[in-house]
Amino acid sequence: MQGSPSPAELPGGSEPERIRLAHGGGGTLMRALIERELRPLYADPALALHDAARLQLPHGRLAFTTDSYVVTPLEFAGGDIGKLAVIGTCNDLAMAGARPLHLSLGLILEEGLELERLRRLLGSLRQAARDCGVVVVTGDTKVVERGKADGLYINTSGIGLLETPEPIGPERIRAGDQLLVSGDLGRHGVAVLAARHSLDLQPPLPSDCAPLWPLVEQLLATGVRPRCLRDLTRGGLAAALQELAEAGGHALVLEEERLPVCPAVARCCDLLGFDPLHLANEGRCLLVVAPQDLETSLQLLQPLGGGWIGEVQPGSAGGNGAATAQVLLRTPFGSERLLAPQSGELLPRIC
């Protein structure tokens, strides 16, 4: 009795190999997909696959996060959905002061996705995992009908080891703390926008998609204990600032001329009517540090193109006596304007 055809032997002649519904059905095609395309992602490809992973972790406190990725298009200058899924999840761990260790990987594949493209995206994912120092330890794969998933959706969950005894979070922000960013703003949003609408930017502007743990590790190694860290993904710098201001009833005052925006992003925003402060980044973070940590932090950020952008002030008293949170931009002329939150999403499907 002949066995089931391998993906390479499926009907279609010279047509490229594609995902079929049967790849998600639990049979030989699904096993072939897992063995040939997914098992190599694991740190130990010979490890027996099971319903859950057994992890050997060092003693200590853990951070845990999960995220889903539905970016369109799947590939863009400087990155793709595979790279994005790993780096986005690792960066969420880093913002809690956690060293990324382990990832789970959930794939939702669309019938008709070319296997060659899947291999390319998984190769990018594998390289990103190496760059971040994490290993994929468990996963799941589903296939949906043609037209139901834009080719590929990815869910990743991450586990990291907390490297600070004290928490890093909005509750630790105090008046007088200093605000810094780790690099220029808006690159990822513009890169995805250009790929989605076939904008011929010259020179091409790559996404800033990059791991943030190396920067956090350097900060901790030099004795800096950030009050709060926040990666600037959906909603960009403006959304992150609004969330932190509201969490503690603070006024966050920014110096507008100190906000780093590269010329290509600035030109694109001027042309299309976007504000770079609302555009997503995938390799930038906002740092809130105590005044005594400012100079050391600046020394680490300046080679990356980052720097100081403002400070935390007490929120103004509201009608009920509670502090009113706000984000203010101080212009080069000394006047101040309110940085209002967006009522909707400026660019959907960017991560």
Burial 148-165 (b: 16+ CB within 10 A, else e): ebbbbbbbbbbbbbbbee
Mean pLDDT of 182-189: 96
Residues 179 and 234 in one domain: yes
Kindly state whether residue 3 falls inside one of the protein's structural domains.
no
Task: Say if residue 7's pLDDT is above 80.
Answer: no
Output the six-digit token pair for 237. 């710098």
Kindly state whether residue 291 falls inside one of the protein's structural domains.
yes
Structure confidence at residue 9 as a pLDDT band (50, 70, 90): very low
Confidence (pLDDT) at 343: 67
Kindly state whether residue 15 falls inside one of the protein's structural domains.
no
Output the six-digit token pair for 2. 């002949």
* CATH (domain of 220): 3.90.650.10
Amino acid symbol at 209? C
Kindly state whether residue 11 falls inside one of the protein's structural domains.
no
Confidence (pLDDT) at 247: 85
Confidence (pLDDT) at 101: 95
Three-state SS for 58-117 is: CCCCEEEEEEEECCCCCEECCEEHHHHHHHHHHHHHHCCCEEEEEEEEEEEEECCCEHHH
Range with the poorest average pLDDT among 26-35, 62-71, 130-139, 189-198: 26-35
Residues 89 and 192 in one domain: no
Residues 177 and 127 in one domain: no
Residues 205 and 227 in one domain: yes
Q: Which domain does 294 fall in, by range? A: 170-338
Maximum CA pair distance of the chain?
Answer: 83
Burial 304-336 (b: 16+ CB within 10 A, else e): bebbbbbbbeebeeeeeeebebbbbbbeeeeee
Residues 6+ apart with CB under 8 A from 192: 71, 73, 76, 207, 280, 347, 349, 350
**Angle at 193 (CA atoms; ends 188, 199), nearest 5 degrees:** 120
Structure confidence at residue 185 as a pLDDT band (50, 70, 90): very high
Residues 195 and 153 in one domain: no
Say if residue 58 is preceded by a cis peptide, omega within 30 of 0.
Answer: no
Mean pLDDT of 209-232: 97
Task: Please state, in angstroms and rounded to a whole number, the distance separating the CA atoms of residues 299 and 75.
Answer: 34
Task: Say if residue 79's pLDDT is above 50.
Answer: yes
Share of the chain above pLDDT 90, in %: 70
Task: Say if residue 290's pLDDT is above 60.
Answer: yes
Residues 143 and 198 in one domain: no
Q: Where a domain ends, among 99, 127, 162?
A: 162
Residues 154 and 179 in one domain: no
Kindly state whether residue 229 falls inside one of the protein's structural domains.
yes
Confidence (pLDDT) at 55: 67
Output the six-digit token pair for 16. 């490229």
Task: Say if residue 10's pLDDT is above 60.
Answer: no
pTM (predicted TM-score):
0.88
Q: Where a domain ends, among 132, 162, 192?
A: 162
Considering the chain, what is the average pLDDT of its residues? 89
Task: Please state, in angstroms and rounded to a whole number, the distance separating the CA atoms of residues 279 and 273.
Answer: 12
Kindly state whether residue 279 falls inside one of the protein's structural domains.
yes
Strands, E, within the chain: which ranges?
62-69, 75-76, 79-80, 98-110, 135-144, 152-162, 178-181, 228-231, 250-255, 285-289, 307-314, 316-317, 323-324, 326-330, 336-338
Using one digit for the tens of pLDDT, what is the confidence trace for 100-136? 999 999 999 999 999 999 999 999 999 999 999 999 9
Residues 127 and 178 in one domain: no
CB atoms within 10 A of CB 346: 18
Residues 6+ apart with CB under 8 A from 181: 232, 237, 259, 260, 284, 285, 286, 287, 301, 306, 307, 309
* CATH (domain of 81): 3.30.1330.10
Q: Is 3 left (phi over 0), alpha (psi -120 to 50) or beta?
A: beta
Kindly state whether residue 285 falls inside one of the protein's structural domains.
yes
Confidence (pLDDT) at 201: 86
Structure confidence at residue 158 as a pLDDT band (50, 70, 90): very high
Number of domains in the chain: 2
Confidence (pLDDT) at 317: 57
Residues 44 and 105 in one domain: yes
Using one digit for the tens of pLDDT, what is the confidence trace for 304-324? 999 999 999 987 755 554 557
Residues 333 and 193 in one domain: yes
Residues 6+ apart with CB under 8 A from 255: 309, 310, 330
Residues 274 and 190 in one domain: yes
Kindly state whether residue 346 falls inside one of the protein's structural domains.
no
**For 208, how many CA atoms within 13 A lie in the half-sphere containing its CB?**
28
Residues 182 and 130 in one domain: no
Q: Where a domain ends, among 144, 162, 180?
A: 162
Confidence (pLDDT) at 28: 83
